[in-house]
Structure formats: structure tokens, C-alpha cells
Amino acid sequence: MIETKAYAAQDEKTPLAPWTFERRDVGPHDVQFDILFCGVCHSDLHQIKNDWFPGIFPMVPGHEIVGRVIKVGDHVKNFKVGDLAGTGCLVDSCRECENCKQDLEQYCLKGNSQTYNGYEQDGKTPTYGGYSNTIVVNEDFVLHIKENLDLAAVAPLLCAGITTYSPLRHWKVGKGHKLAVLGLGGLGHMAVKFGVAFGADVTVLSTSSKKEEDAKRLGAHHFVVTTDEAQVNAAKNTFDFILDTVSAEHDFNMYLSLLRTNGVHICVGVPPKPAEIAAFSLLGGRKSVAGSGIGGIAETQEMLDFCAENNIVSDIEKIDIKDIQTAYDRMEKGDVRYRFVIDMATL
Ligand code: NAP
Ligand code: ZN
């Protein structure tokens, strides 16, 4: 077994603190890589707080993981020692169901293995995430990362990147579309970058004017402050798509009024409480509410390659792991510019 250093939450009320545990030895199809950087996703905070469901504790969060390969199993074909490597939200899936066969492991019908707060495919070995010094993952769930980009800024692509890239590709958002990105945080700022790269006319919908300059710098064409009634009224019936990245309770009916006829409100944010949606908000204009979860492994690789070719990375604030609680507190207040990334050398 491999002795592993980490930061863990022992239960939903105790702040993260140093912890050690054992990872499995490198099997014939496994890759072991030392973690250099790990992004901080709002899902980490939701899960250590039991916002969605009771978690598996101790919990080592982190699913935006990048580093360098230090060991490979005898049958590993696609990685060698010294390569850059990444792992996102998934470390395994059944590989046999209809969805897995179509490269949609994120929708595995038998239940995929999440990188943390989940179980391996044996259904009993807990998984532990990237707030740790090293990780062992089956090579089919390890991503290739090109050397040309800032590695710390690549880490958030593994979740925030793919979670926004995948729905924009699925709904073929691009030239001629008006896209609204709701919430300018980790996911939101990546959605702006991809929306712009795909040729859409991009508007950021934000709760205050504080991030307006940043939004424009990120490439957004317009900015609407959603607490300003006049600005909201002027934006009614204008968007083909809203990509909703909001982590907290919000009024869907108000945002649906901003969609054009046939518009689609795509949920990627996961507030702890269910939303109330009036049928009238949908039927006047044949509107839809849809959802999208992360992305499959092949699409994640496609996204990473797209980013490497187009020089797209996340805008990050690098932090020491001891400051994780401050990062969570700021994230909770919407004060993220635009992804915290832990420098794992500080572990
Ligand atoms: P984040 O960095 O904290 O960004 C969320 C943003 O939402 C905030 O910056 C803020 O933007 C806005 N916001 C917060 N509270 C709001 C409210 N009450 N009303 C309106 N807007 C509000 O979070 P993130 O890491 O991007 O994650 C966003 C959500 O996506 C989380 O729920 C996370 O769990 C979920 N997620 C889902 C998937 C998936 O597979 N679907 C994957 C990863 C994450 P402004 O300051 O601009 O208002
Ligand atoms: Zn995430």
C-alpha cells in the first residue's frame, strides 16, 4: 500500500485538517502520479457540508487534479514515467452499460466511481480525492496534459472546464446564438471563455456589478446585473441559452423570462434545495429546463486538447493548503476570481 498525505474532513462539522491514509499499490493497468496542483470546486464545499446527501467520511475532497507520473503498471500503454497527467471527477465506471459504451461514463447506469466521496467499482473501497500528495488511477481514467500551458491553471479544466464545455458542445452553442452565463465563478468564467471561443454572443448574468470589468476581460460581450430591475427588464426574451452555474437557491422563473422562444435553461449548478418552476414560465415561449453533468473521458481529453490549441486556461488564485478554509469562506460569498488552486507543494 502507498502511504498518502492529505487534508481531510473527519465529519461535516469539522474543518479540514492533515490526515494520512493508504492508497492501493499500482496494479497492471494503473498509473500513479504525484499531485502538483488541485483546483477547489464549489462541489467540494457542498460535499463536505453534506449539502446534497450524507457523505463518506473521512473525506479528502478534490477532483481537479494534475501532476506527473511516477509509476505505471506493466500493462499500461498510454502513459510513461515523467508524463503530465490529470484526473477529474471520475476514476472508474462499469464500462459495459449503454452510456459507458458511448463514452458517457459520467452517466454510467450502474454507478460510476467518483474521485472522492464515492466507492471504487467493488462498491466498498472509498475513494479519496486530490487534496493529497499522490494518486493511483486506472489509466483509462487518466487524462493527457500538454506541456505548453501553465499547469496550475490547467487543473480547473478537469471539472469547471469539462462541465461547461460539454453542454455547450451538446447543444451546439456557437455563431448566431445568444448565450447567457449565469453566475461568474469557477464554472461561469470557463463558460464565458468557451462560449466566446465557439463564436456565441456572450452575456454574463451576475448578482452585482463587481465582476463587470473582469467579465469583459474574459471576453464577454455584455453584462447584466440581475439585482437591477431595469437591466433585467431590458434583457427579457433575448437569450437562446442560459448556462446556469449558480450554487445557491435562485429564482428560475425570473431567469426563464430572459429566454427567447424555444430557449433552453441548462442547469450545471447544483443548489442544495430543489427549485420551484411555474409551468407558465415554460409554456409561454416553449422553453425547456435541462441539465448536464461533467463530461465523459473522451470528451474531457477533447476539451483539454482544444484548450492547449487555443491557449485557454482558468484564471486562478494559487493558495497554500492551510488556507483552504479562507478559500471556502470566500467562495461561499461569491468572491472567487475565478478558481482557487492548491499548490500541493504546501501540503
Ligand atoms: P463558484 O465558483 O462558487 O461560483 C458560483 C457563482 O454563482 C458565484 O460566483 C456567484 O456569481 C453565483 N451565485 C452564488 N450565489 C448566488 C445566488 N444566490 N443567486 C445568484 N447567483 C449566485 O462555484 P463553481 O465551482 O463554479 O460551482 C457552481 C455550481 O456548479 C456548484 O453548485 C457546483 O456544485 C456545481 N457543479 C456542477 C457540476 C456538474 O457536473 N453539473 C460540476 C461542477 C460543479 P456572481 O458573483 O456572478 O453572482
Ligand atoms: Zn467540480
Atom 36, ligand 1: residue with shortest CA distance: 269
pLDDT score for 1 = 97
The cell numbers describing 323, all together, are: 488556507
**What is Dmax (Cα atoms) for the chain?**
63
93-101: long-range pairs with CB below 8 Å, 24+: 93/121, 94/121, 95/140
Residue 23 host element (H or E): strand 17-23
CA 310 – ligand 1 centroid, Å: 25
- Among 112, 165, 247, 335, residue to substitute to test ligand 1 (most atoms within 8 Å of Cβ): 247
Q: Which residues pair with 206 in a beta bridge?
A: 225
C-alpha distances out from residue 260 to 78, 178, 342, Å? 46, 9, 40
Task: Quote the pLDDT of residue 38.
Answer: 99
Q: Which residues line ligand 1 (CB under 6 A)?
A: 41-43, 46, 159-160, 163, 183-188, 206-207, 211, 245-250, 268-270, 292-294, 331, 334, 336
DSSP lists the bridge partners of residue 77 as none
User: What pLDDT shows up at residue 137?
Assistant: 98
Ligand 1 pocket mutation pick from 116, 224, 246, 314 by most atoms within 8 angstroms of CB: 246
Per cent of the chain over pLDDT 90 is 100
243: β partners: 181, 266
Ligand 1, residue 247: give the atom nearest the CA: 32
Residues lower than pLDDT 50 in the chain: none
Q: Residue 200 has which C-alpha cell?
A: 456565441
pTM (two decimals): 0.98
Residue nearest (by alpha carbon) to ligand 1 atom 39: 293
Mutate to test the pocket of ligand 1, among 164, 187, 330 (most ligand atoms within 8 A of CB): 187
Q: Is 231 left (phi over 0), alpha (psi -120 to 50) or beta?
A: alpha
DSSP 59: B
Give CA separation, 244 vs 27, 30, 159, 193, in Å.
40, 36, 15, 15
Nearest residue CA, atom 34 of ligand 1? 43
Would you tell me the crossing angle of helices 186-197 and 160-170 to the nearest 10 degrees? Answer: 40
pLDDT of the residue at 115: 98
Provide the pLDDT for residue 298. 98
